[in-house]
Amino acid sequence: MSPSGAEIIRQIREGVDEIDPADARDQLGNGAVLVDVRESEEFESGHIPGAQHVPRGYLESRIENAVPDRSQHVVLYCASGQRSALAAHTLSDLLGYEHVESLKGGITLWKDRGYEVAVPQTLSKEQRERYSRHLLIPEVGLDGQQKLLGAKVLLLGAGGLGAPAALYLAAAGVGTLGIVDDDEVDLSNLQRQVIHNTERIGVPKVDSAEETIQALNPDVKVVKHKTRLEASNIMELLEPYDIVVDGADNFPTRYLLNDASVRLRMPVVSASILGFDGQLSVFKPYEGPCYRCLYPVPPPAELAPSCGANGVLGVLPGVMGLLQATEVIKLIVEQGEPLVGRLLLYEALGATFTELKVRRDPECPICSRDPEEISDDEMGVFPDYEAFCEASG
Ligand SMILES: [Zn+2]
């Protein structure tokens, strides 16, 4: 009578070397290769960090890719130690691997001992559908979408630039959007600030923006900062974020933001608008110029938008805000050529885009020095702003 399956497994296991999780851990530090022989769904729901994945059903055909050297020390594991023992038998007895062990108790015992398990983030069924058009482009894909969901972006202002940028960043699945704005929605905003609406006139812009974003994409966490950006709070406000979207409408804030972001080595995606003209650049500290390299002194006061109400074509901040959102996404998914060291000028009446090279200024008062050297007193230093605006008449 032929032996039962259970009997064969017992015999095979007797002939296979088993290794205790603690010893396996030491061996991994000594260069042993760890191979997970479970099915794909099991691997994806959590595996031992650094493990290669070769499902047992593909062992003979794929192990040479994972472990080309047959003298290499290999530790195999599965859920409980049974499949890995059978796989170890195949590797040593049939494929000629010289030093093969099976992890005793599998990943179950490994976890019980409190050792580390990597649980890859996966998208829910709903997220796969929501972001399906991102998953179809390799530059984003699953990896990029997970980066977006894990990203923290701070928007300065939920106004002309911030409104369209926030809408598209939320739609794209940027996981955390902070919004700094102490203003309320005004009727005159609605010609361009599309995140707000007529019913919300008089409502704080951060609340209005949050409501629109939540309705668009519940994956996004909105952090509301109903305050003005000042030297006293800027470091604290910026610190939890990865990237800043600058939609500030005044020069003192831009200088302050620049100095703080250089200190924190945090990239700023900056845009400005006036009339039919827009400007855009990415200030990535120490990789490209900073705002002060580009504008060592503020432009003439009569051109300073914050000195009074200036006209702007309603669509223009939409164009520029979406170019900002595009740069933010590129930075997060680490694809393409960010607009670092380049100033993009858009002129809507002539329908022209022009690009200017901007270089780091070796004499720049801020980014020519190490971040630790920039003191609190120097941050946002700017000529007297009241006087500056008065000079413009
Ligand atoms: Zn600089």
Each residue's pLDDT tens digit, 263-288: 999 999 999 999 999 999 999 999 99
pLDDT at 86 over 70: yes
pLDDT of residue 178: 98
- Cα 285 to ligand 1 centroid, rounded to whole Å: 8
The fraction of the chain above a pLDDT of 70, given in percent, is 94
**Under 8 Å between Cβ of 46 and 118:** yes
In this structure, which amino acid lies at residue 197?
A: N
Structure tokens at 35: 């191979």
Band (pLDDT 50/70/90 cuts) for residue 76 is: very high
Dihedral sign computed on CA atoms, order 52, 53, 55, 59? negative
DSSP labels for 270-283?
A: EEEEEBTEEEEEEE
CA–centroid distance, residue 171 to ligand 1 (Å): 33
Question: Burial of 293 by CB count in 10 Å (0-12 exposed, 13-18 middle, 19+ buried)?
Answer: buried
15 burial level (CB within 10 Å; 0-12, 13-18, 19+): exposed
Average pLDDT over residues 209-231: 96
Task: Mention every residue, 6+ apart, whose C-beta is less than 8 A from residue 321.
Answer: 160, 161, 162, 163, 164, 165, 168, 247, 271
CA 261 / ligand 1 centre spacing (Å): 11
> Could you tell me the CA-to-CA distances from 340 to 169, 189, 282, 326, 332 in Å, in that order?
20, 31, 5, 13, 14
Mean pLDDT within 192-198: 97
Higher pLDDT, 79 or 296: 79
Centre of ligand 1 to C-alpha 292, Å, is: 5
What pLDDT does residue 382 have? 65
Q: What is the mean pLDDT of the chain?
A: 91
| pLDDT (mean) for 322-330 | 98
Contacts of 187-191 with C-beta under 8 Å, sequence gap 24+, read 189/159, 191/314
Instruction: Kindly give the distance from the C-alpha atom of residue 352 to the centroid of ligand 1, in angstroms, as a whole number.
Output: 28
Report CA(147)–ligand 1 centroid distance (Å): 29
What pLDDT is stored for residue 304 in this prediction? 58
Q: In this predicted structure, which of 76-80, 202-206, 292-296, 325-329 has the lowest mean pLDDT?
A: 292-296
270 C-alpha to ligand 1 centroid (Å): 14
Q: How many whole angstroms from 236 Cα to the centroid of ligand 1?
A: 22
pTM above 0.85, yes or no: no
- Tell me the mean pLDDT in the region 303-331: 86
Calculate how far, in angstroms, residue 42's C-alpha sits from the geometric centre of ligand 1: 50
Ligand 1: centre distance to CA 290 (Å): 4
Rounded Cα–Cα distance for residues 347 and 345 (Å): 7
**Average pLDDT over every residue of 226-250:** 93
Instruction: Give pLDDT, residue 310.
Output: 79
Lowest-confidence pick of 15-24, 194-203, 379-388 = 379-388
Distance from the alpha carbon of residue 277 to the mean position of ligand 1, in angstroms: 24
